[in-house]
Amino acid sequence: MAAITLGSAQISDYETRYPEIFRRTSGKHYMLPLIGLGVIAYLVYCWWFFSIGTVLAEGQWQRANITARQWYSYEIRPTIRMNGDAAKVTYPRFSVLGKNPDPDWVRQVDGTTTVSFGASQALHLNGKSVVAQRNDEIVSIVINDDAARLAAGTAVPSWVLLRDNEVQLDFGFAGEARIMPERISIARRFLGWPNFVFDTNSPFWGKSFSEVAAMIVSGERIKPDMSNLSLAFDNIWNNAEWQHGDVWTKMLQTIVMAFVGTFFAGLLALPLAFIAARNITPNFLANQLTKRLFDFLRSVDMFIWALFFTRAFGPGPLAGISAIFFTDTGTLGKLYSETLENIDDKQREGMKSVGASPVNVQRYGVIPQVMPVFLSQMLYFWESNTRSATIIGAVGAGGIGLKLWEAMRTNANWANVAYMVVLILIVVFVFDAVSNALRSRLMGDRRVSSK
């Protein structure tokens, strides 16, 4: 069909003959500015109602910075106590340095204890006097029986804070020190996740990769009842600090929760959708009852269902599977029924014309049209529920979400939280890629078959 081209004269003629069509009303002229003003007024109202300005002004942003650093770094906290003129350095009972810590950044030579905080940053303790250095700035601190004070005439730089009877020193990311009359508390910070592979109780701890490989391949058995390879895997899987075995088991539990809940929801939603579709089941009462059931199931959020089933079944994956099953049955049922109501009836009429039974009419006249769409939607919900299962797990529905919530609640294991978050992201990325690839194949096959 040839394209029709209108000249400017013809367009003017049409505008003159049909002014009611081409003439914009006064309301339309002001519609866009009014919408813009409405959006601005709404944003101003939200700013006032939620006190966003006050929140931003009074927010403790330094705490956010500290928490963020705990995700990708760790601290070692030695304590230095004076016994006469001699200093004794002690470490926490469960130190990441093991049972006999001897870090190279703490040294005691000729009565002087030196704690290094990196290049040009150090703390030197000799008797009752402390010299702190940060780059080109040096301060002297005197420790008395009742207080720690800067030496007379010493200026107070920005990284030194005087509080009550103590002196606090800030060495930036490298750490900090609190100098008190009875002790000196050190917090030394390093990048990374310590003991991620082997914990301090493992015979492989502290050894290089080549040393571990040599022990596994040709070393004598550390335990007579198992090979060194089995022992190494057991030490990694049962790492007391990182709990790899428990984390991965909970992650697998989350994946299974999402799959089982979505799968059974899809199975139940399929026959119910045929009842809800008006063109498939021409019964008003059956249509309305089924659609209201879908509305009920999907109107209650998955999180609320998880709380309910956790109360009913107790904490565990069964509560998570049930929450996903109920929510997705309602959502998939609604999507499936709407898809069925928009199918091409020509294939159904063709099956009826050759005398096919009602079951065969649906089997060969309807299912081939909608099944690729149904499977594509179910794959999307499976991928989405992998993320949702993490959230509902936090309320006791099992899986990695419960493990993540336990680590966050202690407010001390943010590196473990980061580990689980990274693992969840990897799993979600993989499932997203797999789901997209399968959906593309399904929809591609549907487009090919429809030609």
β-pair partners for 185: 79, 178
Of 110, 107, 144, 111, whose CA–CA distance to 123 is shortest?
107
Most confident of 34-43, 79-88, 409-418: 34-43
How many CA atoms lie within 13 Å of 239's alpha carbon, on the beta-carbon side? 22
Residues of the chain with pLDDT > 70: what percent?
Answer: 92
pLDDT higher than threshold 80 for residue 354:
no
Average confidence (pLDDT) over 393-413: 82
- Say what the pTM is: 0.76
Task: Look at 39-43, 59-63, 163-167, 203-207 and tell me which has the smallest mean pLDDT.
Answer: 59-63
Scan for tokens 């931003």, then name that residue.
56
Q: Residues 331, 378: contact at Cβ < 8 Å?
A: no
- DSSP strands (E only) in 135-265: 137-143, 148-150, 160-163, 166-170, 175-179, 184-191
Residue 76, pLDDT score: 92
For residue 223, report the phi and psi dihedrals to the nearest 5 degrees: -120, 125
Q: Residues 333, 378: contact at Cβ < 8 Å?
A: no
Helices (H), 50-146: 52-58, 61-72
Under the banding of pLDDT at 50, 70 and 90, the label for residue 314 is confident
Residue 15, pLDDT score: 65
pLDDT higher than threshold 70 for residue 253:
yes
pLDDT higher than threshold 90 for residue 342:
no
Average confidence (pLDDT) over 307-327: 89
pLDDT higher than threshold 70 for residue 126:
yes
Residue 182, pLDDT score: 86
Average confidence (pLDDT) over 76-95: 85
Under the banding of pLDDT at 50, 70 and 90, the label for residue 24 is low
Under the banding of pLDDT at 50, 70 and 90, the label for residue 2 is low
Under the banding of pLDDT at 50, 70 and 90, the label for residue 451 is very low
Between 68 and 204, the higher pLDDT residue: 204
Q: Residues 130, 141: contact at Cβ < 8 Å?
A: yes
For residue 29, report the phi and psi dihedrals to the nearest 5 degrees: -65, -35
- How far apart are the C-alpha atoms of 450 and 447, rounded to whole Å? 5
- How far apart are the C-alpha atoms of 261 and 404, rounded to whole Å? 21
Residues of the chain with pLDDT > 90: what percent?
Answer: 35
Residue 147, pLDDT score: 87
Residue 449, pLDDT score: 47
Under the banding of pLDDT at 50, 70 and 90, the label for residue 166 is very high
Residue 122, pLDDT score: 93
Average confidence (pLDDT) over 186-203: 92
Residue 22, pLDDT score: 62
